[in-house]
A and B are shown apart, each in its own frame.
Chain A
Amino acid sequence: MTRYSVFAIAREALRHHEGWERAWRSPAPKARYDVVVVGAGGHGLATAYYLGRNFGITNVAVIEKGWLGGGNTGRNTTIIRSNYLQDPSAAIYEKSRSLYETMSQDLNYNVMFSPRGVMMLAQTEHEVRGYKRTAHANALQGVETQFIGPERVKELCPIIHIEGPRYPVLGALWQPRGGTARHDAVAWGYARACSAMGMDIIQQCEVTAIHRNGEGGAVSGISTTKGEIACGKLAIVVAGHTGQVCGLAGFRMPIEALPLQALVSEPIKPCMDVVVMANTVHGYMSQSDKGEMVIGGGTDGYNAFTQRGSFHHIEETGRALVETFPMISRLKMLRQWGGIVDMTGDRSPILSKTPVPNVFVNCGWGTGGFKAIPGSGWAMAELVAKGEPGPLTAAFGMDRFREGRFIDESVAAGVAH
């Protein structure tokens, strides 16, 4: 793999940029791998990357039904933050956020991490109390956040209408080190780094069966549309399709798949340099480097795999954001799309062993998976390599639903994740 650097750019500039090689190889699958990761989205690729980097396991394949990063990794609003209330969430999301800070250097790939600050508006008295509580919890967890008043909100983001008639801005939970990153680049960067370690990334390859001929019914291999692949361990990291893939292995998951939409406006001149989330009215917005306003809202209310979503949810999000940012009222929206998010009963993820020996599952990131990619991969790699949950994953086992130990962020952190 050629290292990307200023010298590489200079060298290629002198030879008409003909020397760039493909960022990752696309080999045919081998007969056997130590670990097969199903799903080449951010979480799957990060799992593979940290298996190699932290545990030296490089006989790994990442297989993907569609194309790399074509699911939720390429369909989100790229917000990165870690201001969660519950300790297990704060730990894994803060690990993730800190890994984003050095990701471009670690991967030798520019992921355009922009720690521009994330602001979660408090627009009711309940939210004020809730976010003050979160700020105190974050102080104990070592996550840098603070509760700021409306004047500071206006100073940080002048386009916010803080004296709205329905929900005036009463303050905000401010995480100055949160921000955004280029979502595709995160997937591409991990893929390139995995490929450089000798891992195989196999796209257009769907799992059609999971075989359990190992000791005690352990996984022994999978059938795919590109043939049989034997494996020592299997990591299922497929977000919205978790239920379907786990069904092949013979167990059920506490997951429901819902469409979540995002949209971008026509590009305009720079007008906001922070990420703003308004959870009471339910919308969030940031401005991309191209100048588009990147907008997200809530999920649909019913199960679907359409990657499109209901129109009235966009309408609600638009209404909420026009109320919060009156200057966007005449913006034209250029593109809209949906991803299929995997929601658990407590709105927290699952990183877990499963009823099938040597099969591990990483799912349930729901509406907030992008921010968690590196931390999730880091923690999942430890789970897969050691076969037992480490400190970051211990609380996220799937047995918590049976045992009643929820990590209840849906109640703690409000709706948006």
Chain B
Amino acid sequence: MLTLTCPCCGTTAEETEFAPGGEAHLKRVGPGSDDAAFEEYMFLRENPKGVHFERWRHAYGCGKWFHAARCTVTMDVFGTYSAQVTEPPQEIRDRISARRPGWSWREFA
């Protein structure tokens, strides 16, 4: 079973305490964007086989949103971090690089 640590309240718990919130770091497009950009934002997803970044909510705990870096094949959790960032922090990226050399995800590596 997937175990996550909430970076907001520090609680470590298994996945039933959390609610998955889909892919992280999506760039929202505003009014006036073209159809292709809106399709990208609404429907196109990385869906990687490997390193993935996603949003979670500590639904049955402190209720806060946060980010997690996880492997979709092995279910390894590389780390969790604040929701108040637009890209994964260097510390998380280094931790992934140590275990998955050569990884990339969107423009991040």
Contact = CB atoms under 8 A, between A and B. Distances in A.
A244 B47 CA distance: 8
A305 B46 CA distance: 13
Interface string A229-265: 0000000000001011000000011111100000000
Contacts of A303: 23, 45, 47-48, 52, 54, 72
B2 A310 contact: yes
A306 B52 CA distance: 14
A302 B54 contact: yes
Interface size class of B (residues with CB under 8 A): 20 to 34
In this complex, the member of B2, B20, B39 whose beta carbon has the largest number of chain A beta carbons within 10 angstroms is B39
A304 B16 CA distance: 16
A71 to B, nearest CB: 14
Interface string A285-315: 0000000000000000111111000111000
B49 to A, nearest CB: 5
Contact of B43 (A301, A302, A305, A401): A401
Contacts of A301: 19-20
A254 B44 CA distance: 4
B39 A401 contact: yes
B42 interface: yes
B47 A255 contact: yes
Interface in A293-339: 301-306, 310-312
Contact of B75 (A244, A255, A306): A306
B87 interface: no
A306 B49 CA distance: 10
A303 B23 CA distance: 9
Contact of B45 (A255, A304, A312): A255
Contact of A310 (B15, B47, B73): B15
A402 B29 CA distance: 14
A401 B16 CA distance: 32
A252 B1 contact: no
Interface string B13-44: 00110011011000000000001101100111
Interface size class of A (residues with CB under 8 A): 20 to 34
A366 to B, nearest CB: 13
Instruction: List the 10 shortest-distance A-B pairs measured between CB atoms, nearest first.
Output: A254-B43, A302-B20, A301-B20, A402-B39, A345-B43, A243-B47, A401-B43, A304-B72, A312-B16, A402-B35
Nearest to A300: B20
Contacts of A155: none
A311 B1 contact: yes
Given A303-B47, A306-B73, A306-B75, 14 more contacts: A243-B45, A252-B44, A255-B45, A255-B47, A256-B45, A257-B72, A301-B19, A303-B45, A303-B54, A304-B72, A305-B49, A310-B2, A312-B16, A401-B42
Interface string A373-405: 000000000000000000000000000011100
Contacts of A305: 49, 72-73
17 contacts: A241-B49, A243-B45, A254-B39, A301-B19, A301-B20, A302-B20, A303-B23, A303-B48, A303-B54, A304-B75, A305-B49, A305-B72, A306-B73, A345-B42, A402-B35, A402-B36, A403-B35
A403 B22 CA distance: 23
Contacts, number: 60
A143 to B, nearest CB: 29
Given A301-B19, A303-B52, A254 B1 contact: no
Nearest to B1: A311
A325 to B, nearest CB: 24
Given A306-B75, A345-B42, A312 B15 contact: yes
Contacts of A252: 44
In this complex, the member of B16, B20, B44 whose beta carbon has the largest number of chain A beta carbons within 10 angstroms is B44
Contacts of B19: 301
A253 B40 CA distance: 10
B2 to A, nearest CB: 7
A42 B65 CA distance: 40
Nearest to B68: A302
Contacts of B70: 302
A340 to B, nearest CB: 9
Contacts of A312: 1, 15-16
Nearest to A306: B75
Interface in B34-89: 35-36, 38-39, 42-49, 52, 54, 70, 72-73, 75
Contacts of A244: 49
A120 B54 CA distance: 34
Contacts of B46: 243
A252 B20 CA distance: 23
A11 to B, nearest CB: 48
Contacts of B49: 241, 244, 257, 305
